[in-house]
Amino acid sequence: MKRTLSIFLACIILLGISTGGVAVATEEIELVEVGFEPFGSDFLSSYSGSISRVSSGNLRINFNVRATAIFSNVGALTIAIQERNGNSWRTVTTFFSSTTSGMMGSNTISHSGSVNYTGTAGVVYRASITVFAGGTSGDQRNFVTNSVTA
Q: Which domains does the chain have, with CATH numbers?
A: 2-33 (no CATH), 44-149 (2.60.40)
CA distance linking residue 75 with residue 24, whole number of Å: 35
The vertex-141 CA angle with 139 and 147, nearest 5°, equals 160
- Check residue 116 and give its pLDDT: 97
Helices within 1-76 (DSSP H only):
2-19, 21-33
Altogether, the residues listed in the chain come to a count of: 150
Q: How remote is the C-alpha of 26 from its chain's centroid?
A: 22
At 116, give phi and psi (nearest 5°).
-110, 145
Give the pLDDT of the chain (150 residues) as one tens digit per residue.
444 445 544 555 544 444 444 444 433 333 323 333 445 689 999 999 999 999 999 999 999 999 999 999 999 999 999 999 999 999 999 999 999 999 999 999 999 999 999 999 999 999 999 999 999 899 999 999 999 999
Query: 97 by DSSP, 3-state: which?
Result: coil
Per the CB < 8 A criterion, the answer to whether 59 and 50 are in contact is no
Residue 34's contacts (CB-CB under 8 Å, 6 or more residues apart) are none
